[in-house]
Amino acid sequence: MAPSKKSRASAGASLSLKTSNKLKRQQLYVAHKKTTGKARHEERHRRRKEEAKDPELRRKRLESNQPASLDKKRIWDDVDDDSLGAVVDVVQLKRRRLAAEEAAAAAEADGVTEGAMERDDDVDSMLGSDEEEDDEERMEKLQRQRAQRNPSIAPSTTSTNLDLTPDALAAQFKHLFSDEPPSMPKVLVTTSLNATIHREAQEIAAVLPNATYIRRSAHRYGHKYSVREIAKFAKNRGYTALLVVHEDQKRPSQLSVCHLNGEDAAPGPTLTYTIRNYQPGKVIPGHGNATNHYPELLLNGFKTPLGLLTAKSMHTLFPSKPELSGRQVVTLHNQRDYIFFRRHRYIFREARPTEKNVVGADGKEMEGVKGIRAGLQEIGPRMTLKLRRVDKGIGRAGSEGEDALKWEWKAKMEKKRTRFNL
């Protein structure tokens, strides 16, 4: 037997189910919204008065009201491993290892000091008559020995100039993570066969300094050069990297970055990304026009060994010495394994009297930026990249051996929403 209307209305917790009259429900809903809105307004007004008298209350409120985002809930693998597929924070792992080395060095130094103390005690025990006279001298000697501790074999863990490159990455990709200063990049950009996105490919090539765009022939009688043939052609002419832009429904859909390395090294690795939300610069409201200056490069949020490989791969595409007079910056921001690509022009100006100072997450004004504002103008293009594959050689077809596939994205990697690969 179906329940009656009266029983259904009483069982519901919503205000709209307390009456079967539609007009009455609307009136109750409007009255409820007014009551709750008035209570919230009075609460905010009372809190604003209290925080104006005591700024410490505002600081405490902002500290306790931190949003519980997925980035803050991020989980790491509890392993002491820095291989390519490990999800570990490279910075924290490096600091733990340096702290362990410093602790071992300090323990070894303490052992040497304690041995010297025991030998001094044995010698002093034989001098019975002068024991009281040499007491102070012996204590001063022990203090000097403790002060002369051997220096640590590891650098300080508080240093900000840490070499975060894992040994496993340096061994696998010797050319990318070389100790030698990077050479001036020279990039060749092309498209897939029968492509129609030549304008988009030219715009991507314009972002990279010293980049050249060459159209791939789509003529029915022309030779269809493969990516391996193009890579061999480019390497013989001094190019350092090859970018292949693929399309889907006449929009950029995939980007392959192949590092050609030097003459004495085999080409590779090849990193394959998917492209989403591509927008050319001309459709961005208020966009600016780029200049020929070398841009600054910002790499944010790359924390794992795979993230370091991705960041290093992007870093080699840009000159290591930017031209600051151009005031152009290229940003690659990693968030939840999505890499947001943006290009801006910036300018510093004085803050207007009506503008407030920059406030941090703790509610305090940030030091060093008071009275200064940064104006941004986006140049474009903008897009979102997601890493899919890392191959040893020139793409999937040009990689051979057991370790041909270094890393590949799989759907099971995103079952846990708080676990990220980059």
Render pLDDT for 347-376 as a digit per residue (tens, 0 to 9): 988 888 888 887 776 667 788 778 888 889
Of 120-124, 282-286, 381-385, which gets the smallest average pLDDT? Answer: 120-124
Q: What is the model's pLDDT at position 119?
A: 61
| Six-digit token string for 233 | 């052609």
What is the pLDDT averaged over residues 272-282?
95
* Coil/strand/helix, residue 118: helix
CA separation (Å) from 371 to 28, 193, 363? 50, 53, 17
Average predicted confidence (pLDDT) for the chain: 83
Dist CA 408 CA 214 (whole Å): 29
* 77-123 tens-digit pLDDT: 888 888 888 888 888 888 888 888 888 888 887 776 666 566 655 54
Dist CA 339 CA 332 (whole Å): 6
pTM of the shown model: 0.77
Q: Is the pLDDT of residue 126 over 60?
A: no
CA 328 to chain centre: 20
Dist CA 242 CA 235 (whole Å): 9
Dist CA 407 CA 391 (whole Å): 7
* Half-sphere exposure at residue 290, Cβ-oriented, CA atoms within 13 angstroms: 24
What is the pLDDT averaged over residues 200-204?
94
> Which residues contact residue 381 at a Cβ distance below 8 angstroms, ignoring those fewer than 6 apart?
200, 203, 204, 207, 278, 279, 280, 281, 341, 343
| Six-digit token string for 109 | 């130094």
Q: Among 342, 272, 343, 335, which residue's Cα sits nearest to residue 309?
A: 272
Q: What is the model's pLDDT at position 120?
A: 56
Q: Are strands 296-300 and 328-335 parallel, antiparallel or unpaired?
A: parallel
Q: What is the model's pLDDT at position 161?
A: 56
